[in-house]
Amino acid sequence: MSHAPATRPDPWVLVPRPLPEAPVRLLCFPNAGSGAAGYRHLAEPLAPTAELRVVRLPGREQRWQEPAHSRLAPLLHDLAQWLAPHLEPGPGQRLAFFGHSMGALVAFELARLLRARGLRVPDALFASGLDAPHLPRTGRTTMHTLDDAEFAARLPYYGGTPREVLARPDVLELFLPTLRADFAVVETHRHRPGAPLPLPVAAYGGRDDPETTPAGLAAWSELTAGPFRQRAFAGGHFYLADRPAEVAAALTTDLLDLARATS
């Protein structure tokens, strides 16, 4: 008696709760140093509106032994190749990108790359925790060029790194290469002017996030030729973890609007 070979897990994408009949497929891109864990808690609250698919980048979680990308262009090249099966949702299903912080930049530039290659672009983009990338990054510390001691000393300012990791230099040392590479992806990026994306864009942010401003989030409206929506939530840079129910409710509303507008 023969058996079908076991399906190997996709190293690039995690689907916490498969929902092939959901109106929207939501592809999520992580922030610096993070992996699928940063989004898993949204899978249940977003059901049945959206099927959550979380991008898993090299250098973290199950892929921690792989070197992380330190520049955006090669990362985008790999994403366009390996995410191809996830960029074609089922019949009648919409595709949306959601990226937080570094993930917002990656999602935006991936959408631009797909358009440049004549491939399917998402039906909507949700940019979270990042001022619009065409704005100058003035007055910010360039993290990826700091030595290890200075780099580690500034991490608490950004939040997101568990306190138990910060308190263990031997453990933190394992995370530093990926964190440094992720900061380099953002800090070495230079925006190239281009036509606005032909899709709705929503900018989400925490009201107490030191890394964003209301004006910086509003400037995402300049990068789209479609409708724009801006939302502010209680919390700091990682408001997603602080207010999951509130974020999921807002995101569900916006995704349903997307599904209705494009059906």
Distance, first Cα to last Cα, the chain: 45
**Beta-carbon contacts of residue 107 (< 8 Å; ≥ 6 apart):** 27, 29, 97, 98, 99, 122, 125, 126, 127
pLDDT at 91: 87
Q: Which CATH superfamily is domain 13-137+190-257 in?
A: Alpha/Beta hydrolase fold, catalytic domain (3.40.50.1820)
From the CB of residue 169, how many other CB atoms can be counted at a distance below 10 Å? 12
Query: Any bridge partners for residue 203, and if so which?
Result: 127, 230
Please give the Cα distance from 176 to 152 (Å, whole number).
Answer: 8
pLDDT at 196: 97
User: For residue range 169-205, what is the model confidence (pLDDT) as tens digits?
Assistant: 887 888 899 999 999 999 999 999 999 999 999 999 9
Going by DSSP bridges, is the β-strand pair 124-128/94-100 parallel, antiparallel, or unpaired? parallel
In the chain, where are the structural domains located? 13-137+190-257
Q: Is 236 helix (H, G, I), strand (E, B) or coil?
A: coil
| Mean of pLDDT values over 118-130 | 96
pLDDT averaged over every residue in the chain: 90
| Mean of pLDDT values over 89-98 | 92
pLDDT at 263: 57
The catalytic residues are 101
One-letter amino acid for residue 142 of the chain: T
Element (H, E) at 201: strand 201-206
Q: Name the nearest CA neighbour of 100 among 35, 157, 196, 47.
A: 35
Q: Name the nearest CA neighbour of 30 among 38, 20, 22.
A: 38
- 262 has pLDDT over 70: no
Concatenated DSSP letters of 72-115: HHHHHHHHHHHTGGGGSPPTT-EEEEEEETHHHHHHHHHHHHHH
Q: Which residue has the tokens 């065409």?
A: 134
pLDDT at 241: 87
* pTM over the 0.85 mark: yes
From the CB of residue 40, how many other CB atoms can be counted at a distance below 10 Å? 15
pLDDT at 5: 44
pLDDT at 90: 86
**Which residue would you say has higher pLDDT here, 110 or 243?**
110
User: For residue range 47-83, what is the model confidence (pLDDT) as tens digits?
Assistant: 999 999 999 999 988 898 899 999 999 999 999 999 9
pLDDT at 139: 66
- 26 has pLDDT over 60: yes
Please give the Cα distance from 253 to 257 (Å, whole number).
Answer: 6
| Mean of pLDDT values over 134-152 | 86
Q: Can the peptide bond before residue 48 be classed as cis, meaning omega within 30 degrees of 0? A: yes
